[in-house]
Structure 1
Amino acid sequence: MAWSSLFAVEMLIAAFAGGAFGAAIGALPAFIFTGFMVIAGEAANLARGAAVEAAGVDPSTLGAIGITGSVAFGPVFSPAISFAGGAAAAAYAAKRGYMDTGFDFHEAKNIAFAQGTKPDVLVVGGLFGIVGYWFTVASSTLAMPYDPIAMGVVLSALVHRLALGYPLVGDAPNGLLNMRPFESEDRRVVGEAAVDGGAGADSNAEADGGVVHERFVVEPWLPHQYRWLNVFVLGAVMGVLGGFVAVKTGSPFLAFGISAASLVFLNCGVENVPVTHHMTLPASTAALAALPVGFDPASQSAVLTAVLAGAAFGGVCALFGELFQRVFYAHGDTHWDPPAAGIVFGTFLVAVAAALGIFPHTSWVPAL
């Protein structure tokens, strides 16, 4: 990308539409669409590669299918656009008092909720779709050594949290990393009833849109996925999966698409469905980066090394995502995406590992 892309009219219009789409159907459903688009795009790329090999022709003569790059990771389905726009729209709608869904946490964190057709909410989603697009273009143009889309999600959430008047981190009287108050089901009263400063009062009542209800003192991003050991083991296992899929297909994104698409079950209310895309994407990237250029697919040692690299990156990124949620999600009022932060961290680690000579290259991540 180039700096001129920042103000390409057709891209800005598409990004606005993508952000509004995320607001209309909800950030999580929009991200699930991203997962399906990635699966479709990578399947098309693999089919194209098979056709090229069978026909023995120059791949450049067939053209690029481009579903992954131009649709799944571009307007309209880029997570920095549709998902981030939907998250910002939820924060705005909660601020305006539009949301009263009975959600256990702050309503602004209810990213599965479809905002529907409210014009002002759609406009906010659209504007943050443009913000996410700008962040992505800036990172790509500067060739920053991390996933530019994931960084767009992270920075967009920072902007919407501050721009809409929410606290950056939130109150954590028991410590930022302490999840025990949630396990004890400790609650606080928020909204107008808490303005007088009674017991358990929320010091940020204004951010709750005047709605009176109770909230947990600590709100873990995933109540079924926050214990350190459990998270690490899950990450390592998903890292093996991501690494193996990447080595066998050559795609660093297919396992990510599978992880993202699997969230359709979480969105439908199936209990204990894990969130794993911040494990599989860095793991797939690390596995491919660990392979020597022109490696022999029949080399069991090379494949084993790549898969083990995937396991290590899956586990580490899972832990980083958990650390991020404990600091920036559990005590705050809006959705600040832990998986996006984990992907930024993991892809940056790939660039660092290559710079140190641990990996022979960086796969698709720009080098340091």
Structure 2
Amino acid sequence: MIDALLDLAELIAAFAGGAFGAALGPLPAFIFTGFLVIAGEAATLVDPEAAAITDSVAFGPPFSPAISFAGGVAATAYAARRGYIDADFDYHQAKNIAYALGTKPDVLAVGGAFGILGYWLQTVSAELAMPYDPIAMGVVLSALAHRLILGYSVIGTVRGSSILDMSPFEDGERRVIGEPATDGGKAQVIAESDADQRGRLVVEPWLGHQYRWGHVAMIGLTAGILGAYVALATGSAFLGFGISAASLIFLNCGVEQIPVTHHITLPASTAALAVTAEGDALIAGASTEVALVVGLTFGVACALFGELFQRVFYAHGDTHWDPPAAGIVFGTFLVALLYAVGVFPDTAWVPFF
């Protein structure tokens, strides 16, 4: 494992990947990952030797989400702390992951440094064969690291009746200094020392169009079925993920109501392939219909877990802590767990000790 962690070529490439993710902006960089996965998986269906496009480029140092996306997220948090971002954005600027950070040397250096951190986090999980997606866990842990290192609160200040309460967002409550606003909207008074918080929403859900439990469950069901079907039709656990990630180009371009689904399609695809494997597990050699039901179940579960994660770690904080990455860690761990207890005959691609 030490050799992998200290692979100089990989470290240099990871630095460049993190810096490039910062330059493009985290979300645009992740969208590139999606297109590369589509290209790689399509090429692999024609020629198995083409797997390097997915394995070494899309999920390697250039565009692994643990490297380019997470590096870009950390750089965005740094740039916001330095006052470099001045965009029309309702949330804290450190959450503005669609914003391209350009060419500032210090910003790109931070992105590169966190790219290396992401490479190490991803590699450690993979080398130890931990039972979850090592890339998604890298994204989750990198976000925790950037909050701690850059001086942001891990959870933030909870405003509302509970940590899960989104009603302040629904009521349009904003943070003001001094007297509450009198324009008909609700407001929450903040101290003069928090002047940089003026105008922000009191609670900031990850997606203002995708946070109600019923809505989240429904998109989980729908995308779960689609992810499972794509996997069963092609044999690829990752093609559905690539399609979901690439679809975010519309969200990045400002098209309203675009759902985020890669944390749904990847676990659903993985679970569907796992249950179709032969074996003596409780669910083995499953038919297409059974696999689709398993896929939709995973889709709903991971969508809801992602929403739970955002309510705890995103909505009250100041930086982007990726709910889909957490949903993928949860879903892939669940696949491994069900394999360990004899429900699934296989884990598909998920490592297992």
TM-score range, shorter chain: over 0.9
- Which residue number in structure 1 is paired with residue 348 of structure 2? 363
User: Does the aligned pair in 1 maintain the 2:276–2:286 contact within 8 Å?
Assistant: no
Query: What is the correspondence of 1:75-154 to structure 2 with a 5 Å cutoff?
Result: 75-154=61-140
Query: What is the correspondence of 1:188-337 to structure 2 with a 5 Å cutoff?
Result: 188-189=175-176, 200-201=189-190, 205=194, 211=196, 213-293=198-278, 302-337=287-322
Cα distance, 1:48 vs. partner?
Answer: 1.5
> In structure 2, the residue corresponding to 1:188 is in which secondary structure?
strand
> In structure 1, the residue corresponding to 2:199 is in which secondary structure?
strand
Cα distance, 1:100 vs. partner?
Answer: 1.3
Going from structure 1 to structure 2, the CA distance change for 1:220 and 1:203 (only over 3 Å counts) comes to farther
- Which residue number in structure 2 is paired with residue 71 of structure 1? 57
CA RMSD of aligned residues (A): 1.9
Distance 1:27 1:245 in 2: 26
Distance 2:201 2:274 in 1: 42
The percent of aligned pairs where both chains have the same amino acid is 65
CA deviation profile, 1:23-58 (whole Å, cap 9, x unmatched): 001000000000000000000011125xxxxxxxxx
Going from structure 1 to structure 2, the CA distance change for 1:65 and 1:144 (only over 3 Å counts) comes to closer
> In structure 2, the residue corresponding to 1:66 is in which secondary structure?
helix
Going from structure 1 to structure 2, the CA distance change for 1:214 and 1:357 (only over 3 Å counts) comes to same
Distance 2:149 2:110 in 1: 11
Runs (5+) with no aligned partner, structure 1: 50-62, 191-197, 295-299
> In structure 2, the residue corresponding to 1:218 is in which secondary structure?
coil
CA deviation profile, 1:64-107 (whole Å, cap 9, x unmatched): 54100000000110000000000000000000011110210000
User: Does the aligned pair in 2 maintain the 1:19–1:85 contact within 8 Å?
Assistant: yes
> In structure 1, the residue corresponding to 2:158 is in which secondary structure?
coil
CA deviation profile, 1:219-267 (whole Å, cap 9, x unmatched): 0000000000110110011000000110111000000000000000000
- Which residue number in structure 2 is paired with residue 58 of structure 1? none
- Which residue number in structure 2 is paired with residue 156 of structure 1? 142
> In structure 1, the residue corresponding to 2:259 is in which secondary structure?
coil
Cα distance, 1:337 vs. partner?
Answer: 0.1
- Which residue number in structure 2 is paired with residue 15 of structure 1? 14
Would you say how many aligned residue pairs link Structure 1 and Structure 2? 340
Cα distance, 1:357 vs. partner?
Answer: 1.3
Distance 1:292 1:92 in 2: 46
Deviates more, 1:22-31 or 1:352-361: 352-361
Cα distance, 1:204 vs. partner?
Answer: 7.8
